Amino acid sequence: ISSGVVGERRVFQAMQQLKERYPDMIVLENFHFEYGEKKPDSKRPTSECDMLILTCGGIYCVEVKNYGENANYIIEIEETGKWNKRYGEQLHPIDDLPFRQNETHITTLNLEFSELFKSMTNDGSELKITPLVVVPNATTIDNHSKNPEHIVLNINGLCKYITEEAKIYSMDKVRKVAETLAKRGDPASE
pLDDT at 188 over 70: no
**pLDDT tens-digit profile of 115-167?**
888 888 888 888 889 999 999 887 889 999 999 999 999 998 999 999 887 78
Cα–Cα distances in angstroms (integers) from residue 79 to residues 67, 83, 103, 145, 148, in the given order: 20, 10, 17, 4, 11
Per DSSP, the three-state class of 78 is coil
- Report residue 189's pLDDT band, with 50, 70 and 90 as the boundaries: very low
> Which residue in 70, 68, 134, 131 sits closest to 101, CA to CA?
131
**pLDDT tens-digit profile of 29-68?**
999 988 888 777 788 888 899 999 999 888 999 999 988 7
Q: What angle do CA 138, 140, 145 make, to 5 degrees?
A: 135
Q: Taking the model in full, what pTM does it have?
A: 0.88
How many angstroms separate the CA atoms of 181 and 47, rounded?
13
How many angstroms separate the CA atoms of 108 and 48, rounded?
10
* pLDDT score at 131: 96
